[in-house]
Copies of this chain bind each other. A is one copy, B any other.
Amino acid sequence: MTPYAAPVRDFRFVLEEVLEHGSLALPGFEEASPDLVEAVLEEAAKLAGDVWAPLNASGDRQGCTLRQDGSVNVPEGFIEAYQAYAEGGWNGIGVGEALGGQGLPEVVASSVQEMLHGANMALGLCPMLTAGAIEALAHHGSDAQKATYLPKLVEGTWTGTMNLTEPQAGSDLSKVRTRGVPQEDGSYRLFGQKIYITWGEHDAAENIIHLVLARTPDAPEGNKGISLFLVPKYLVIDDDGSLGERNDVTCASIEHKLGIHGSPTCTLSFGENEGAIGYLVGEEGRGLNHMFTMMNEARHKVGVQGIGVAERACQQAFAFALDRVQGKSPRSRGGRECTISDHLDVRRMLLSMRARTDALRALALFCAAQLDVARHAADESEREAAQAKVDVLIPVVKAFSTDQAVEIASLGVQVHGGMGFIEETGAAQLLRDARIAPIYEGTNGIQALDLAGRKLQRDGGAALAGLIDDVEGTARLLSETPELAALGEALAAGAADLTAVMAILLEQGSDPERGPDAIQAYATPFLSLAGHVLCAWQMGRAALAANTAQQTGSRPDPGRPDPFYAAKLQSADFVIRQWLPVGRAQRAVIEAGMASLAAFEPGSL
């Protein structure tokens, strides 16, 4: 596997030139000066490139091991790499200062997350899950719970997990059977088995704080009977975090997976003996709601994770294609032996990988900036408007980024030819690792239903319509810029398709009889169209910024354009004129209707 160099220049371009440092001006971010942000990105790039990235391939080869005593060993070097991360204070960069974090803007925290996942996705999952636990406790924990658990979680001395899935309860969590039985002292005893618990057991931290969905006795069936519990691996006996006995939760097995071998995916048994001691978090019966509070951000993080792997796949493919000599360039370009990057069909693959990754990153960071506004803007209506955009964007960032990441990683394998299929090269690992991202944290089908159903129907499409207005505004600006006019036209056409399809979704989706089926039938093509249009929009903004910079900025070499901006303009051109059309085809897919889908009986064959 080739080394990983975090794309700091591109993060800075998006933050500074496309988003124009918008969120840094928000209240609460006074310390996040452009200089500080730059320093943070540079330091994170070092951690990612020098410490985490070199362990990615070896972690994949070694995987994790479940010992006889129930402990789980993670790959060599992972503990030290995790500790370097925690000791550097990285775990708290996006956490508010009130909770012991550094309270940096989400746009910065997201950039750092992308770097870490690009460097080593399997390891990146550990803090990602911890972040979810912090979020859930910060919102729903009691003051005492916050005081006891948050400091260690925020500094990263302890890690967190999310225990949702059971064999019969995957996308449908209403089927959870794990029981939480109240005790006289106010605590609970938990009994049951949870599967697919990421970093559920490991030796990289002093303690593990499990957040667990379980059902109290006599609770009603379905969603409303589910509560959220905190179950520490080691009981905490003191306010300063001193640890006592081992709790009754054990790792029964770890999974043999397609990828992310360095991340232990555990089956956890709660209460095989006296019952695992747990504490109710928030209100009884509101466990699912509490979990969903933090799910939005977790979904954004998974999208960002996909982009990180896509970026690394780009770097891997570019390095190979620029090195591999094979064939000759056409006579018009010299007719000499050349690297495969000189063949335009290979270059199409490379540009397609680069352009899509750029676009996904721009959209995810736009969404992160809206998250910052939603949390920090002084004006309530501004916060609400931003939150409405976030709600629409998150399922797109999660599902679209991860679907594309799989395709980009697969294209990376293809660029390598036969070498791509050989594990030592490293390209195949990226495909294997990426493949989980469309599945976990709510499958991409669930994301599409969230977008086409709840998010679109509840406000009659108002939030999405607002975003489409913004897309049209960018299209106009492009059209008014002579050298980018073709992009403006293409982007406007995409916006028109999305508007048309939204109308279909709203009309058919609100039909009391057929609505639920219509939403299901159209959800995935609808999300795909939205993803293409929104990514194209951000690349339209990027093109405007790059074009301005080309014309006004200083150049490293006065004789020729800055290659960064030139490449950005080529990326934007590719995204808007060669990738968006493929997404626009989803309009025809939806307009074809749902009759054949509804009539199709998979069981009849």
**Given contacts A423-B256, A443-B417, is CB(A599)–CB(B581) below 8 Å?**
no
Most chain B C-beta atoms within 10 Å of own C-beta, residue among A321, A440, A592, A601: A592
A295 proximal to B (CB < 8 A):
no
The one of B168, B345, B354 that contacts A445, using a Cβ cutoff of 8 Å: B345
The one of B421, B597, B601 that contacts A439, using a Cβ cutoff of 8 Å: B421
- Docked complex: A382-436 residues within 8 A CB-CB of B: 406, 410, 413-414, 417-418, 420-424, 428, 431-432, 435-436
**Given contacts A257-B423, A330-B516, A520-B343, is CB(A417)–CB(B170) below 8 Å?**
yes
What sequence of 0s and 1s flags, for each residue 445-457 of chain A, a beta carbon within 8 Å of any chain B beta carbon? 1001100000000
A9 CA / B517 CA spacing, docked (Å): 31
A596 CA / B486 CA spacing, docked (Å): 13
A49 to chain B, nearest CB (A): 16
Return the chain B residue nearest A326 by Cβ. Answer: B172
A523 proximal to B (CB < 8 A):
yes
A431 to chain B, nearest CB (A): 7
A348 proximal to B (CB < 8 A):
yes
User: How many residues on A have C-beta within 8 angstroms of the other chain's C-beta atoms?
Assistant: 98
Does the CB pair B582–A596 fall under 8 Å?
Answer: no
Q: Can you name 23 A-B pairs with beta carbons within 8 Å? A: A171-B326, A172-B326, A196-B418, A257-B421, A258-B421, A258-B422, A318-B602, A330-B516, A341-B603, A343-B520, A344-B520, A349-B445, A351-B600, A354-B605, A420-B439, A432-B432, A563-B604, A563-B605, A566-B601, A573-B595, A577-B592, A578-B596, A581-B589
Report B-chain residues with C-beta under 8 Å of the C-beta of A348.
Answer: 521, 524, 597
**Extra 16 A-B pairs, beta carbons < 8 Å, given A330-B520, A431-B435:** A171-B417, A172-B326, A258-B421, A322-B603, A330-B516, A330-B517, A344-B520, A345-B449, A348-B524, A418-B440, A421-B435, A421-B436, A577-B592, A578-B596, A581-B592, A582-B582
A146 CA / B428 CA spacing, docked (Å): 41
**Given contacts A171-B326, A521-B344, A570-B600, is CB(A318)–CB(B422) below 8 Å?**
no
Report B-chain residues with C-beta under 8 Å of the C-beta of A574.
Answer: 596-597
**Given contacts A563-B604, A602-B341, is CB(A414)–CB(B521) below 8 Å?**
no
A385 CA / B190 CA spacing, docked (Å): 74
As for how many copies of this chain the complex holds, the number is 2
Return the chain B residue nearest A594 by Cβ. Answer: B344
Report B-chain residues with C-beta under 8 Å of the C-beta of A168.
Answer: 325
Does the CB pair B521–A345 fall under 8 Å?
Answer: yes
A589 CA / B598 CA spacing, docked (Å): 32
Does the CB pair A344–B598 fall under 8 Å?
Answer: yes
Report B-chain residues with C-beta under 8 Å of the C-beta of A414.
Answer: 438-439, 443-445
A333 proximal to B (CB < 8 A):
yes
A586 CA / B170 CA spacing, docked (Å): 37
Report B-chain residues with C-beta under 8 Å of the C-beta of A573.
Answer: 592, 595-596
Most chain B C-beta atoms within 10 Å of own C-beta, residue among A406, A417, A566, A605: A605
A327 proximal to B (CB < 8 A):
yes
Q: Which residues of A contact B (CB under 8 A)?
A: 165, 168, 170-172, 175, 195-196, 255-259, 318, 321-322, 325-327, 330-333, 340-341, 343-351, 354, 406, 410, 413-414, 417-418, 420-424, 428, 431-432, 435-436, 438-440, 443-445, 448-449, 513-517, 520-521, 523-524, 563-564, 566-567, 569-570, 573-574, 577-578, 581-582, 584-586, 588-589, 592, 594-605
Return the chain B residue nearest A256 by Cβ. Answer: B423
A433 to chain B, nearest CB (A): 10
Report B-chain residues with C-beta under 8 Å of the C-beta of A438.
Answer: 414
Return the chain B residue nearest A419 by Cβ. Answer: B170
Does the CB pair B165–A418 fall under 8 Å?
Answer: yes
**Given contacts A171-B327, A578-B592, is CB(A332)–CB(B567) below 8 Å?**
no
A341 CA / B600 CA spacing, docked (Å): 10
A87 to chain B, nearest CB (A): 32
Report B-chain residues with C-beta under 8 Å of the C-beta of A332.
Answer: 513-514, 516-517
Does the CB pair A347–B516 fall under 8 Å?
Answer: no
Does the CB pair B344–A605 fall under 8 Å?
Answer: no
A582 to chain B, nearest CB (A): 5
Does the CB pair A417–B435 fall under 8 Å?
Answer: no
Most chain B C-beta atoms within 10 Å of own C-beta, residue among A168, A515, A569, A573: A573
Most chain B C-beta atoms within 10 Å of own C-beta, residue among A259, A349, A413: A413
A348 to chain B, nearest CB (A): 6
**4 interchain residue pairs of minimum CB distance:** A330-B516, A563-B604, A581-B588, A344-B520
Does the CB pair B577–A516 fall under 8 Å?
Answer: no
A295 CA / B584 CA spacing, docked (Å): 37
Report B-chain residues with C-beta under 8 Å of the C-beta of A448.
Answer: 345
A602 CA / B325 CA spacing, docked (Å): 15
Report B-chain residues with C-beta under 8 Å of the C-beta of A567.
Answer: 600-601, 604-605
A59 to chain B, nearest CB (A): 16
Report B-chain residues with C-beta under 8 Å of the C-beta of A517.
Answer: 330, 332-333, 344
A417 CA / B600 CA spacing, docked (Å): 21
Report B-chain residues with C-beta under 8 Å of the C-beta of A588.
Answer: 577-578, 581
